[in-house]
Amino acid sequence: MSGNALSRADTARYARQIRLNGFGPQAQSALLASHVLVIGAGGLGAPVLTYLAAAGVGRISIIDPDTVELSNLHRQFIHSEARVGHRKVDSAKQRMDELNSTLDIITHPVLLTPDNALELISAADIVIDGSDNFATRYLANDACEILEKPLVWGTILGFDGQVAVFDTREGTTLRDLYPVVPAPGSVPDCATAGVLGALCGSIGAAMAMETIKVLTGIGTPLYNAVSIHSSLDASWECVPVGRRPQREPITDLGSHLGDYGDEISAGTSAETDSTVTWATIAPGTHLVDIRDDEEVSGGMVPGAQHVPMDDLLDDPGLITGHEKVALYCRSGVRSARACAQLRAQGTELSSVSGGYLAYLSLPR
């Protein structure tokens, strides 16, 4: 990247990194002229967004449809208790503005879907994937391959984390590292397996550093390799990743919709008899929020009844007395599973595709 000459204020603010040997004013100018798109303002997004704002990346776009929950705060330190119930993108922007008011922070409180991915990603110089589900990770990877954009990728599970930089122009992508999309539920997420906030910080900081390296040209980015971190013994191991010769290039998102799953299906998947969308739900339908107690602390659809999924499956009578009933969860996965189980027992109801995240993405 290239940029304009630094102002006196820029030179004063970024003095400590400008004077680094091999960095200098040219690298700082490149950062100020760059546009980074960050997917997710959660555990990985929090350190990524904080460090990139502090480093002086001139334009930062944030994609996240979610709201801040109390259970987020032990690791998502870009948010605060006062912001519980607020959109994560707005909460993150507020903190970033307080840290560096000279930047252009753009918020997208929406799901990343096959309908909007190419448009959102095309405007950025580099994409950072801090998402928490395989559907979004593969969608981001595929869109970046089509658009020939570098993708900084990170993931955490238990006490371990991984970081890589994927760029089809440089070699490998996520599909070379993990060619098969894991089946839903086959790999536990943070809500199930747990996560330490400090691990998010370690991996997120490494992702921010890789982004800075790509944008400024310093050092050697993690192309064609994955760096694996074990927090319990403080080790880092760099493992080479080769291009799979039999892998067909990704040229069209529409040919891979099955890989993107229910979590981002709102507006892209056809309805069935047991599914509805927020746009097509019938008037008078009784909504039932089946998320856990901690999830609804960040908000729920007005007028909905809260019945945690396990309680509902144990006693379907908790939602009787309504002609039409629709279940929703965070993304539509759990509600579809509960709906199928209850319908098999003779209870007539439907599942809202996309769940609460799709609701938050509706125009206001």
Do residues 147 and 153 touch, judged by C-beta distance below 8 A?
A: no
Q: Is the dihedral of CA 284, 325, 296, 139 positive or negative?
A: negative
| Cα–Cα distance, 13 to 34 (Å, whole number) | 17
Least confident span in 136-150, 153-167, 198-212, 256-270: 256-270
Token pair belonging to 352: 């809202």
In this predicted structure, what is the pLDDT of residue 188? 63
Residues 6+ apart with CB under 8 A from 323: 284
- Cβ pair 78, 41 in contact under 8 A: yes
The arithmetic mean of pLDDT across residues 140-155, rounded, is 98
pLDDT in tens, 275-303: 899 999 999 999 999 999 988 887 899 99
Task: With beta carbons less than 8 A apart as the criterion, state whether 42 and 88 touch.
Answer: yes
Domain 265-360: homologous superfamily in CATH: Rhodanese-like domain (3.40.250.10)
Global pTM reads 0.82
- Active-site residues: which are they? 190, 329
Q: What is the location of CATH 3.40.50.720 in the chain?
A: 34-260
Would you tell me how many other CB atoms lie within 10 Å of the CB of residue 21? 5
Identify the CATH class of 34-260.
alpha beta
- Residues 6+ positions from 80 with CB-CB distance below 8 Å: 73, 91, 95
pLDDT tens per residue across span 298-329: 789 999 999 999 999 999 999 988 999 999 99
Residue range(s) occupied by CATH 3.40.250.10 in the chain: 265-360
* Strand ranges inside 184-291, DSSP E: 225-230, 235-240, 275-276, 286-289
The helix/strand/coil state of 8 is helix
Would you tell me how many other CB atoms lie within 10 Å of the CB of residue 262? 22
Q: Which residues is 49 bridged to in the sheet? A: none
